[in-house]
Chains A and B, each alone.
Chain A
Amino acid sequence: MSFLITSLAIIVAGGLLSLIFYKSHRFSTAFGAGAAVLGCIIGIVPAVQIIYYGNTETLKLAWDIPLGSFFLQLDPLAAFFLMPIFVLSALVAIYGKEYLRAYREKKLLGISWFFFNLLVASMAMVCLAANTILFLVSWEIMALSSFFLVAFEYEKEDVRKASWTYMIASYLGTACLLPMFLILGTGSNFLDFDNFLKNISPRTADICFILALIGFGTKAGIIPFHVWLPVAHPVAPSPVSALMSGVMIKTGIYGLVRTLTFLGMPPLWWGVLLLVIGIVSGVLGVLFALAQHDLKRLLAYHSIENIGIIAMGIGVGLIGWSTGMPVVAALGFAGGLLHVVNHALFKGLLFLGAGSVFHSVHTLEIDHLGGLIKKMPATGFTFLIGAVAISGLPPLNGFVSEFIIYIAAFSGAIKMDIYPAMFLVSAIAGLALIGGLAAACFTKAFGIVFLGEPRTQEAQKARESSRWMTAPMMGLAAACILIGFLGPLLLPFMSPVTGTILSNPHSAEIKKAADYLLYVTAGSVVFLVLVAVIAGLRSRLLSGRTVGKALTWDCGYAAPTARMQYTASSFAQPVIELFQFFLRTKKHLTIPDTYFPSAANFESHTPDIGREHLYKPVFTGINKFFLRMKIVQEGRMHIYVLYIVITLLVLLFWYMR
Chain B
Amino acid sequence: MNSAIEIMMILLVLSDMALLGLSRLRTCISIVSFQGMLLGVLALTMQLSAITPRLILIAAASFIIKGFIFPFLLRRGIREAGAQYEIEPFVGYIMSVIAGLAMLGISFWLGAKLPLFAANTLLIPAALTTLFTGLFLIIARKNALNQCLGYIIMENGIYTFGIVSVAEIPLLVELGILLDVFVAVFVMGIAIYHINREFDHLDSDRLNILKG
Question: Does chain A bind chain B?
Answer: yes
Q: Is the C-beta of A599 less than 8 angstroms from some C-beta in chain B? A: no
Chain A residues with CB under 8 Å of B91's CB are: 581
Q: Is the C-beta of A553 less than 8 angstroms from some C-beta in chain B? A: no
- Which A residue sits closest to B98, measured CB to CB? A581
- Which A residue sits closest to B95, measured CB to CB? A581
Chain B residues with CB under 8 Å of A422's CB are: 105, 108-109
Q: Is the C-beta of B51 less than 8 angstroms from some C-beta in chain A? A: no
Whether A419 contacts B95 by the Cβ 8 Å rule is no
Main SS of the interface on chain B?
Answer: helix
Interface size counted on chain B using CB atoms at 8 A: 8
Q: Is the C-beta of A418 less than 8 angstroms from some C-beta in chain B? A: yes
CB distance from A422 to the nearest CB of B (A): 6
Q: Is the C-beta of A578 less than 8 angstroms from some C-beta in chain B? A: yes
- Which B residue sits closest to A417, measured CB to CB? B112
- Which A residue sits closest to B106, measured CB to CB? A422
- Which B residue sits closest to A419, measured CB to CB? B109
Q: Is the C-beta of B92 less than 8 angstroms from some C-beta in chain A? A: yes
Q: How far is the CA of A578 from the CA of B92 in the complex (A)?
A: 9
The A-contacting residues of B in range 57-108, CB under 8 angstroms, are 91-92, 94-95, 105, 108
The B-contacting residues of A in range 96-114, CB under 8 angstroms, are none
Chain A residues with CB under 8 Å of B108's CB are: 418, 422
CB distance from B123 to the nearest CB of A (A): 16
Whether A418 contacts B109 by the Cβ 8 Å rule is yes
CB distance from B92 to the nearest CB of A (A): 6
The B-contacting residues of A in range 556-590, CB under 8 angstroms, are 578, 580-581
Q: How far is the CA of A578 from the CA of B97 in the complex (A)?
A: 13
CB distance from B122 to the nearest CB of A (A): 13
Chain A residues with CB under 8 Å of B105's CB are: 422
Chain B residues with CB under 8 Å of A578's CB are: 94
CB distance from B170 to the nearest CB of A (A): 33
Chain A residues with CB under 8 Å of B94's CB are: 578
Interface size counted on chain A using CB atoms at 8 A: 6
A-facing mask of B10-38, CB < 8 A → 1, else 0?
00000000000000000000000000000
Q: How far is the CA of A419 from the CA of B112 in the complex (A)?
A: 9
Q: How far is the CA of A580 from the CA of B105 in the complex (A)?
A: 24
B-facing mask of A77-96, CB < 8 A → 1, else 0?
00000000000000000000
Q: How far is the CA of A127 from the CA of B205 in the complex (A)?
A: 56
Whether A418 contacts B92 by the Cβ 8 Å rule is no
Chain A residues with CB under 8 Å of B95's CB are: 581
Q: How far is the CA of A581 from the CA of B97 in the complex (A)?
A: 14
CB distance from B112 to the nearest CB of A (A): 6
The B-contacting residues of A in range 579-612, CB under 8 angstroms, are 580-581
Chain B residues with CB under 8 Å of A581's CB are: 91-92, 95
Chain B residues with CB under 8 Å of A419's CB are: 109, 112
Q: How far is the CA of A581 from the CA of B98 in the complex (A)?
A: 12
- Which A residue sits closest to B104, measured CB to CB? A422
CB distance from B23 to the nearest CB of A (A): 15
CB distance from B141 to the nearest CB of A (A): 15
B-facing mask of A399-421, CB < 8 A → 1, else 0?
00000000000000000001100
Q: How far is the CA of A419 from the CA of B105 in the complex (A)?
A: 9
The B-contacting residues of A in range 417-455, CB under 8 angstroms, are 418-419, 422
Chain A residues with CB under 8 Å of B109's CB are: 418-419, 422
CB distance from B4 to the nearest CB of A (A): 24
Q: How far is the CA of A231 from the CA of B62 in the complex (A)?
A: 59
CB distance from A32 to the nearest CB of B (A): 51
CB distance from B103 to the nearest CB of A (A): 13
CB distance from B152 to the nearest CB of A (A): 27
- Which B residue sits closest to A422, measured CB to CB? B105
Q: How far is the CA of A422 from the CA of B110 in the complex (A)?
A: 13
What are 13 of the A-B contact pairs (CB < 8 Å)? A418-B108, A418-B109, A418-B112, A419-B109, A419-B112, A422-B105, A422-B108, A422-B109, A578-B94, A580-B92, A581-B91, A581-B92, A581-B95
Interface residues of chain B, those whose CB is within 8 Å of chain A, are 91-92, 94-95, 105, 108-109, 112
Q: Besides the contacts A418-B109, A580-B92, what 5 more A-B pairs have beta carbons closer than 8 Å?
A: A418-B108, A422-B105, A578-B94, A581-B91, A581-B95
- The 9 nearest A-B residue pairs measured at CB: A581-B95, A422-B105, A581-B92, A418-B112, A419-B109, A418-B108, A578-B94, A418-B109, A422-B109
